[in-house]
Amino acid sequence: MKRNHPNPALTDLQLDAALGSEQDRILPSSGFADAVMAAVRQEASAPAPIPFPWKRALPGMIAAVLLLGAMLVFAARAFWPLIRQAAAAPAASGAGSALAPFLRSAVNPTVLWGMASVAVPLVCLLALRRTIFGR
């Protein structure tokens, strides 16, 4: 580490003397260890943070995800004929006629069930997320 430097202004020796000096040391104040131990005891006596109850929440979360998946499949099957019908509509007739089958079938009970089957699990999931994460 020690080397001669062409600049005589500040030598390694002077740097070592300044930075490694015994004078550059302090002693902790007399009550330091007691203060640390008081903080440590407070830390030790504080109740541990309540862990998230994964064991209880997990089955519900898995059930919700499965339900959502099942509902999506159900909804896809309900909407599939309409999607095919819309895709088969002549392109020249414009977006209005492409949407017409959807609009016509809006009152169809099967479609209503399909929409509800998507909306309900979504709302449940959002509510669950809000409960868990608080936002």
Partner 1 sequence: MNVPANPDEDRALVNRVLAGETAAFEGLVRRWQTPLVNLAWRFCRDRGRAEELAQEAFLRAFRHLAQWRGEAAFSTWLFALAANLCRTELQRVPATMLSLDEIAEPAEDRDPVAALDAGRQEESIRRAVLALPPKYRDAVILYYFHDQDVPAAARTLGVPEGTVKARLFRGRELLRSKFSRPRAPAGNAKLSAAQPREAR
Q: Which residues bind partner 1 (CB under 8 A)?
A: 1, 5, 7, 9-10, 12, 14-21, 23-29, 32-33, 35-37, 39-41, 43-44
Q: By the 8 A CB rule, do 62 and 128 touch?
A: no
Cβ count within 10 A of residue 6? 4
| 17/70 with CB nearer partner 1 | 17
Q: Closest separation between CB of residue 31 and partner 1, Å?
A: 10
| 12/99 with CB nearer partner 1 | 12
| 27/103 with CB nearer partner 1 | 27
**CA dihedral for 100, 106, 108, 114, sign (positive or negative):** positive
Q: Closest separation between CB of residue 13 and partner 1, Å?
A: 11
Q: Closest separation between CB of residue 47 and partner 1, Å?
A: 14
Q: By the 8 A CB rule, do 37 and 28 touch?
A: no
Q: Closest separation between CB of residue 28 and partner 1, Å?
A: 4
49 phi-psi bin (left φ>0, alpha ψ -120 to 50, beta other): beta
Helix (H, G, I), strand (E, B) or coil at 135: coil
| 43/131 with CB nearer partner 1 | 43
Tokens found for residue 9:
């202004």
